[in-house]
Every structure is written in C-alpha cells, then in structure tokens.
Amino acid sequence: FTKKDLELSCEALLEQIMGTDHPKRRQLSLRMLRKLLKRHANVHGYLALALESLVNKGFPVMLRNWSVDVFRLSFLFDGLADFFGELMTNLNIVPRIAKAMVRELDLAARVVQRRYRIYRERCRPAWAGVPFDVRMRRKLVQNMDLEDCNKKWRRMHSMAFGGVLPVDVTQAYLRLLGQLTDKDVVSTGYRENRLELAQSSGLIRVLLCLRDHQYRFLALRVLANLSKQSATLAELLKGSVGFTLCDCLHDADDAVLSRTLEVLDSIAQKAAIYSDVNSPETLESEISLN
C-alpha cells in the first residue's frame, strides 16, 4: 500500500466508526484500524496528527455541540489508548473525560447554587447605604445567570440521549480512564493522569459507578490504579471510598470481589504508612510532601 492508500483507508474507517449506528460495524472498523496501526508506521503518524482535532471534536466546550456523533468518538479513543496514551496525556484528555462524565451533576449543582443565592438575597434585609440601582443591578445579574443555567438544563434534557450518558459511552470512558492511569499503558504520564482524576469531580462519578453492577468492575480498575499512588490517597479518603468499597464486598462476582479487596488492601497499607497515630489530621500534609 502507498501512503495515500493508507490515509484513505484510515479516513474511511474513521467515518465508519463515527458515523455508523451499528455496534458490530463500529467494532469491526476499529479492529481493522488497529491492524493497520500495527503493520504500517505511516498510519501511526497520520493518526497522531489527526488526534488533536479528534479530541477537540470528541469533547466540545459548548453544550449545544454535544450529540450522539460526539459520543461515538469515545469508542475510538478507547480503542487507540494503548497506541496513543502518551499523546492523549499531552492533550490533557483526562480532565475532559472527567468533565464529560459529570456534566449533568455539575449543571444541576450550578442551578441549585443560583437558586439558593437568589433566595438568600431575598431574605437579607436592605443594605444600609447601598443605592437602590446597585441592588437592582445585582438582582438582575443573578436572575440572568439563573435563567442561563435553566436554559442549559432544558437544552441538555431535550437532546436525544436525555442529557444522560449512554451505558456504552460511560463504559468506554471508564475503560479509557483505566488505561490512561495504568503504568503499563502510559509509562511517563500516568502519575499526572492519576492526580488530575483524583483532584477533579470525575472521581465522584467513578465512585457512583461502583453502585451500578454494569460499571463496577471498570470503576474498580480505575480506583486500583489511583490507590497505587500516595498523592491520591487523601482525595480517595475524602470521597469516603472505603464505605463505597465495602458495599462491593457483597457482590457475587468473584472478579469484582477480588479487585475490591485489592483496592481496599492498597488504600489501607498506604494509610497505615503515611498516617500518624498521634496526629491523624497530618495525613494530607504528609502525602503532599511525599
């Protein structure tokens, strides 16, 4: 094959992955793309150049740009993580995944915050010495901010997927996070990926996935990688990961039970090493120094 033939083949396979509604056709196209990556160096260079635009397309900033077509790119990233893990890390993809997984939770929290601020202002007595126009201007800004959040909420839930991530997309995101936080896949940037995920709101979504059996094993893999790094221990303990993991001990699946015990053992060992019996509150400072 010539270089042009390989590039045309990659474009055709990418169109199939991003444009088809059939999972089998998508999996077959992804499998063929992986074979081309293993056999031809030109394909690796072509996809490396196109990856940045694909990441920007797969994680749009504006809410109106989210669609089913965007979600299909999650399967592409999941299938190419072992080839381009380092490049994805340089493109800062982990915070984007975390933000995508908590879009609904984040927007709901913003709506509640705006409503509470307006309620608090209504209950507060008039400020002495504050001009009337200043108070009205502040009230107008708060109402406009709340209306903007309400419009985003209604727009999100008016989409075809109802504002909720599809099951297969959530699984693809969890598999991708599991690979990007794995030392064997990302040899140099895995520490940064673990720390970014632990310090972001994406950790909340991963912990919530433990309650659902269809996400549990994938979420446990992510937590197993996070628990191997001392710098993430404080964030895991703040998220009450121990209580959530204890609920997984009742799972009938032996693989889930084994992975749960592995995560609990790793967290317990690091907590025992870095905690001070006489001063437990110094745990976080000791970890940050380490």
With beta carbons less than 8 A apart as the criterion, state whether 226 and 213 touch.
Answer: no
With beta carbons less than 8 A apart as the criterion, state whether 155 and 63 touch.
Answer: yes
**Candidates 3.40.50.2300, 1.20.120.530, 1.10.10.10, 1.25.10.10; CATH matching 59-105+160-289:** 1.25.10.10
Retrieve residue 112's tokens. Answer: 């509640």
What's the predicted TM-score (pTM) here? 0.84
pLDDT, tens digit only, all 290 positions of the chain: 788 888 899 999 998 888 888 889 989 999 999 999 998 888 899 999 999 999 998 888 776 677 777 888 999 999 999 999 999 999 999 999 999 898 888 889 999 999 998 888 777 776 667 787 888 888 899 899 999 999 988 888 887 666 778 889 999 999 999 999 998 888 888 899 999 999 988 898 999 999 888 999 999 999 999 988 888 888 888 888 888 888 888 887 888 899 999 998 888 888 777 665 445 454 444 444 44
Amino acid at 216: R
Give the total residue count for the chain: 290
Retrieve residue 167's tokens. Answer: 């099951």
Structural domain boundaries in the chain: 59-105+160-289
Euclidean distance between the first and the last CA atom of the chain, given in angstroms as a whole number: 52
